[in-house]
């Protein structure tokens, strides 16, 4: 077994809509070590989000291989993918994507429902996570009663809920002011270190990217080490 | 935080819409509850009404059909079927006793009837009496058990009483004669040379018959000085089967000196009349059931459609949420079951509301939505003498859905909720997460 927690080999994604054929990703190769904090930068339309959805098993590549924690998810049966998403991957989105009808606590608890964790353990883990993002006193609030920064912190706690191997963060600071954005990235880095989680951060903000261990650049569907 | 909680939160997210959907579904279910209850109630009330009428008819018919009228020869000149109106012919009273001994004869009622011109009109202001200055004296045997069985005396007494067995020199007057004689119950009235004590007044609902006056047979015969004479003998057979034998026996014994009349043609008409009524009622009920089943079908389709469209809308609205849930590792089945549960809950609540509306509003709903059902009045119209006994029955149906119907409707409501959300939830679960997440 390799040391890489995440590997992408020759990943190509082509969107076809009638006559139009758009190559979103072209032979992308990527190796991420366990515990690493990698940022992927690139202008909008460069295929950043496409890459994240493929790495997070939300979509399949047209060709190529994605290996998460030693498991080739491109050949895995469709029915197995939800479990992999639940256990191996945590998502953080630009617009937080919390369920509006659920409280902060319920949102964080939600991914754990798919596992076989007892209700009591679920609750104590949820409270611990909310504590670590500094929201223990706002656990009962619904997203619309939280600030943008607080919402993103709930999303971080949710992404960490099942102790995933990797966290995929898609422009997590895009909707936050720079100070809050910085706080969020620092929190993410601190928690991933504590939990031993790998982070892949997609951003077009060089400042945020500079907080990572390694910066990669995506341009015209291809990955490079330098911008 | 189970699927149930998610589903119920999903429902409460759009309160106004949920309220309207539940109300609309509730109305569908109310129709589903009230209409079958109403058709059931109407059917059984029609059934009861027909049963009541037919048993009343059977009683009346068996009485009429067993009657044989024996009169003097050529007494067919009866004016408008009123015996005695123009009769001047009479028979020997002993014939009655002889007929009574014929096997199969249950009772014999000899009657003396005589039309009486009222020469002096005392009440000049009463115009009709100047044109109709007559009355009919009817002498009858005073026997209460006979009267009870065969209605020898008129039954609708409006004042006073009937004649009793020892009421000699007493008279029961038709209501038209009350004004004419200006008498009251307990007073005396003079007719010719005779004075009678008035025991009561009757109202037969007919101006001619209301000018009859009933006295004892003996008094009538004495009054006209015709002892031992009768104008008509009503013969009652024990059963309808005996009627022809008795009639033949009388005819062979007395030949042309009497005329014998039976009700055979009436008997022949009866099955047809019953059939006609049953057909009319059956076609009314069939029409009602037809309308009812159409309405039920529409209610079910509408209910299903309401849930379907609501869930389609809910799924569209929450496409992004579906994407999030998928990203968090929820399976297709998790998502399908959540939306189906939502549909089921809407169905259950809508069903409860519907059963409530249906139970309390059943009479109103059914009267608005179903064609009216009534027994045809023509049913009793064919029998003049029976009409008063057989007044047309009003149909009163107690429309109230029973427990099994309510449970059934509730079940249908839940099924509609689940089935209506089947396709929308399947459609929701099939969404590719990457696309669903992009949905705004």
| pLDDT value of position A143 | 95
Strand partners, A23: A14
- A118 reaches B (C-beta below 8 A): no
Residues of chain A with pLDDT > 90, as a percent, come to 65
Partners of B117 in the beta sheet? B134
Interface membership of A170 toward B (CB under 8 Å) = no
Q: Which residues in chain B are contacts of A80 at CB distance < 8 A?
A: none
Average pLDDT, chain A: 90
User: Residue B321: its chain A contacts at CB < 8 A?
Assistant: 99
pLDDT of residue B82 exceeding 80, the answer is no
Residue A196 pLDDT: 85
- Chain A residues closer than 8 Å to B325 by CB: 99, 110
Nearest to B328 among A79, A84, A110 (CB): A110
Partner B contacted by A96 (CB < 8 A): no
* pTM, 2 dp: 0.68
Q: Is B191 helix (H, G, I), strand (E, B) or coil?
A: strand
Residue of chain A whose Cα is closest to the Cα of B438: A49
pLDDT attached to residue A105: 95
> Which pLDDT score, from 0 to 100, does residue B30 have?
93
How far is residue B180's CA from residue B177's CA, in Å, rounded to a whole number?
5
Check A53 against B13: CB less than 8 A apart.
no
Put simply, whether A171 touches B (Cβ < 8 Å) is: no
| Residue B15 touches partner A, C-beta closer than 8 Å | no
The answer, for B321 touching chain A at a CB cutoff of 8 Å, is yes
User: Residues B66-81: what's their mean pLDDT?
Assistant: 67
Mean pLDDT, to the nearest integer, of A73-101? 92
Q: Which H or E run contains B420?
A: helix B403-420
Is the Cβ of A164 closer than 8 Å to some Cβ of chain B? Answer: no
* Of A148-157, B39-48, B156-165, B373-382, the least confident: B373-382
Question: Do the chains contact at A85 and B327, CB–CB below 8 Å?
Answer: yes
Q: What tokens does B151 get?
A: 């209605």
* Chain A CB within 8 Å of residue B162 CB: no
Q: Do B329 and A162 touch (CB under 8 A)?
A: yes
| Residue of B329, B335, B336, B342 to mutate, testing the A interface (most A Cβ within 10 Å of its Cβ) | B329
On whether ipTM exceeds 0.90, the answer is yes
Nearest one of B226, B220, B231 to B71, comparing CA atoms: B231
Look at residue A166 in the predicted model and tell me its pLDDT: 94
CA distance B129 to B118: 10
Dihedral Cα A160, A161, A162, A165, nearest 10 deg? 0
Sole residue written with tokens 């020759």: A10
Which chain B residues have a beta carbon less than 8 Å from that of A162? Answer: 329
Return the higher-pLDDT residue of A25 and B276. Answer: A25
Other CB atoms within a 10 A radius of the CB of residue B110 amount to 25
**In a 3-state reduction of DSSP, which class is residue A203?**
strand
Percent of chain B with pLDDT over 70: 86
pLDDT higher at B155 or A177 = A177
Give pLDDT tens digits for B354-404: 999 998 888 888 888 888 776 655 444 334 444 433 444 456 667 788 889
Residue with the larger pLDDT of the pair B364 and A55: A55
Q: B431: nearest CA in chain A? A: A58
Whether B328 sits inside 8 A of A106 (CB atoms) is no
Rg over CA atoms, chain A = 17
């Amino acid at each position: 077994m390799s040391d890489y927690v995440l590997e992408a080999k020759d990943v190509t994604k082509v969107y076809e809509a009638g006559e139009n054929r758009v190559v979103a990703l072209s032979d992308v190769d990527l190796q991420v070590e366990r515990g690493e904090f990698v940022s992927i930068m690139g202008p909008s339309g460069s295929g950043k989000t496409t890459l994240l959805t493929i790495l997070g098993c939300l979509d399949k590549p047209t060709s190529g291989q994605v290996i998460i924690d030693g498991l080739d998810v491109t050949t895995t049966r469709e029915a197995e993918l939800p479990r992999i998403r639940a256990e191996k991957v945590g998502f953080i989105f630009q617009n937080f994507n919390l369920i509006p009808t659920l409280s902060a606590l319920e949102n964080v608890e939600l991914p754990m429902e798919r596992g076989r964790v007892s209700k009591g353990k679920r609750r104590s883990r949820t409270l611990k996570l909310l504590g670590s993002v500094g929201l223990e006193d706002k656990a009962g609030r619904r997203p619309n009663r939280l600030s943008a920064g607080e919402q993103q912190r709930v999303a971080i706690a949710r992404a960490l809920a099942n102790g995933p191997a990797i966290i995929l963060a898609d422009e997590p600071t895009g909707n936050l002011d720079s100070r809050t954005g910085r706080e969020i990235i620092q929190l993410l880095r601190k928690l991933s270190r504590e939990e031993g989680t790998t982070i892949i951060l997609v951003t077009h903000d060089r400042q945020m990217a500079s907080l990572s261990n390694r910066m990669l650049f995506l341009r015209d569907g291809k990955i490079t080490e330098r911008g | 935080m189970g699927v149930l909680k998610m589903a119920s939160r999903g429902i409460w997210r759009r309160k106004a819409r949920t309220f309207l959907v539940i109300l609309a579904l509730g109305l569908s279910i109310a129709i589903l509850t009230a209409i079958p209850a109403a058709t059931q109630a109407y059917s059984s009330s029609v059934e009861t009404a027909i049963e009541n009428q037919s048993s009343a008819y059977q009683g009346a018919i068996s009485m009429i059909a067993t009657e044989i009228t024996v009169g003097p020869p050529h007494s067919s000149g009866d004016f408008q079927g009123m015996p005695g109106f123009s009769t001047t012919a009479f028979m020997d009273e002993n014939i009655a006793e002889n007929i009574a001994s014929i096997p199969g004869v249950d009772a014999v009622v000899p009657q003396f009837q005589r039309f009486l011109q009222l020469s002096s009109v005392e009440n000049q202001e009463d115009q009709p009496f100047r044109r109709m200055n007559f009355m009919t004296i009817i002498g009858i045997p005073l026997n209460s058990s006979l009267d009870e069985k065969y209605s020898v005396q008129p039954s609708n007494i409006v004042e006073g009483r009937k004649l009793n067995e020892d009421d000699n020199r007493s008279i029961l007057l038709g209501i038209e004669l009350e004004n004419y004689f200006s008498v009251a119950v307990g007073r005396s009235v003079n007719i010719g040379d005779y004075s009678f004590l008035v025991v009561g007044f009757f109202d037969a609902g007919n101006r001619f018959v209301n000018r009859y006056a009933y006295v004892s047979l003996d008094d009538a015969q004495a009054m006209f000085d015709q002892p031992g004479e009768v104008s008509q003998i009503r013969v009652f057979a024990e059963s309808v089967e005996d009627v022809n034998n008795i009639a033949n026996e009388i005819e062979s014994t007395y030949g042309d000196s009497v005329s014998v009349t039976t009700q055979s043609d009436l008997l022949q008409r009866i099955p047809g009349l019953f059939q006609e009524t049953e057909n009319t009622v059956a076609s009314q009920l069939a029409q009602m059931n037809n309308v009812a089943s159409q309405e039920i079908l529409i209610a079910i389709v509408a209910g299903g459609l309401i849930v379907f469209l609501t869930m389609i809308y809910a799924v569209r609205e929450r496409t992004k949420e579906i994407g999030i849930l998928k990203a968090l590792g929820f399976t297709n089945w998790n998502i399908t079951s959540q939306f189906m549960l939502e549909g089921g809950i809407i169905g259950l609540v809508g069903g409860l509301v519907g059963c409530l509306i249906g139970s309390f509003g059943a009479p109103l709903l059914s009267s608005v939505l179903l064609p009216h059902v009534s027994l045809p009045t023509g049913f009793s119209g064919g029998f003049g003498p029976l009409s008063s006994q057989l007044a047309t029955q009003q149909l009163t149906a107690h429309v109230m859905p029973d427990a099994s119907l309510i449970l059934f409707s509730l079940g249908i409501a839940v099924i509609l909720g689940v089935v209506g959300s089947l396709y929308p939830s399947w459609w929701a679960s099939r969404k590719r997460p990457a696309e669903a997440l992009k949905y705004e």
